[in-house]
Structure 1
Amino acid sequence: MRKAGRYILIIFCYWLFVASSFALVREWSFSPGRAMADLALRTAPEDTVVTAENEPPADEHFLVRYARSMVNRFHKSPLFVTILYVVILYSIVTLITLLVIILLNRKRMSKEAEQREYLKEEYQQRIMNYLFDESSRDRSVAELREIASSRYDRQILIDQMIDLSINLKGQIKNLVRDLYLILGLKQDSLNKAYSRKWHENVKGFRELAYMNIREANERILESLNSGNEILRMEAQIALVRLSDDNPYHFLDYMERPLSKWEQITLHELLIQHNLKVPEFRQWFRSENLSVVIFALEMVAWFRQTGAGEGVIKLLQHEDEEVRYTAIRVCGELDLKYGLPVLK
């Protein structure tokens, strides 16, 4: 909110400066007095003598005299020159303002980086104490709650716990999840999962998937058919990780086409995490043609010869790409009894 308020104030000042500048130019350009002054200035003799009334006081400071002369020159200048003065002044103010913003932003980013590194060290030490020193677990939890007092600090703590859980298995990984629940970080992830901002949804889905929290599965399912490709892919990855029996059950709800990149990612997840391989023939009747093609590719990859009859039936599918993929799969699985259908 503070950052948004600062930007709103800057925009308001710009708008006020531009509006006042245009109003000033408009007033000078349509002022009868200015027109008369310009006419008198152009028609005045060159040897006009400055009277004592127009002469500035002798004891006036030179900066004041210089400013006064600049104002007089600005006031007596033609309209085009006046506009140039305004543009130059506006450019100078803009450059100075941008410079100040850049310097303040760099200082803020540097401070945040230092704070992030400090918090990482503090969190790592206390998480290790919690995991490997049973006698200090209560103290570690209390210290973590005290340090992670703001939303920013809690987000860094969640990131640290996720990075740690990726490389852990068994009881130690369960302890990290227990600590995540004890500190109430689950609610932070749920709030992000149900946020209206897609990038917050991505963070929430990822955190819930790594911590094996399934309370937002319905929300994740809703994002499967999102128009945002990144959000859609994160929802698919989260559902794969959150499933025990059938990691690809979400394919039943897919309405949008599966891109090649999404198909490769889903296959890599199955291999890397050693997940249970489902019977892909169950998706041969899907109304989503990309799901049917993906199922055929997985049948060939995992050598699921039991799906041979389903593959043979797809040789007569109405879609040309599905038929072509089925023919290729027949060759890879050596389904010779499919030859009569091809004839």
Structure 2
Amino acid sequence: MSDTGIRLSRPLLLCEDNPSVPYTYNGKTYYFNSLNYYKSVVRECNANNVSVTVQMLLNWPEGHEDLINEGARVPGKLFYSWNIYSNSAREKMEAMFCYLGMVFSQKDCYVSNWILGNEVNHPSGWNYAGNMSKDIYFETYAYAFRSLYYAIRSQYANAHIFICTDNYWSPSSSRRFSARQTITYFVEHLNAIQKGLKWNLAYHACSFPLTYTRVWKGYGITNDINTPSVNIFVYYVCARLLNISTAFSSGTAWLLSVLFAFATNKIWVFESKSQGRELLQEMISFFSLRLLTGILDVIIMYVSVELLNWNDMMMKVLVNVLVIVLNYGASRLVIFKDRR
């Protein structure tokens, strides 16, 4: 299965004095582009088992500026946030979505994936919000998402509807929400409108600038980024689900996380190329030093949980922070220092 993408960045509404396809929604007739070119492309993709994704974008809609949120009607921006607070504008948006759902939900002409907007965590650039507040911005996006969701899935139930962010997972200083914040705020507002809707995430996993290639070699990866997750997960399964003792659960979690950590440290974090005797020496050193921090882990967990009755999951997280620091120092300074 291959994939292709189509960007619908022009408003589909046409002037009433030059109608193309009449479409009635809520008792009102709108006139839309026939989309014949797009239909031919989608049909060809469907016939050749190519999955089609359409990205819905709102650029400056000459003659239909009411589609843009009132606080964002500034010409010259890339793309805009929809207007859901005017009944006529909202119904016009819904009519557009329903028309698209009708056109691209045919047996020989269907779109599998729909993305609403572009990098919506960047409201000053790629999904212009103007002076909209955070809550208004995400309420607007969540409502537009629900409209697209029902317009498409009511006619093609297998379609997937996506939100779109860039690759900035953490907050930045610019006029941008982090991807994580965007997902959180979006879900909060979507659930406030209606719970239970299925959403998907499309994100731009690109480095900045695009010529910066060290990111693909794992540059900037910190030691054991996944090991704490392995450790805590295994501990939770053993201690909470299987009711095994704290000491045994911690020991089992340590063993599995160390095996995982050795592989990730050697291959990606420190890019060690050792083989044969050097590899054996690395393993012995790695497991020996990890054994010391593992014993420390078990002792702290036993004392704090079994003797002092502190919360075991809270202590497991805190102990992992301490162990990460100690393990990184040992790996950096002793085990892999001369193996690249």
TM-score, structure 1 as length reference: 0.26
Structure with more strand by fraction: 2
Structure with more helix by fraction: 1
TM-score, structure 2 as length reference: 0.26
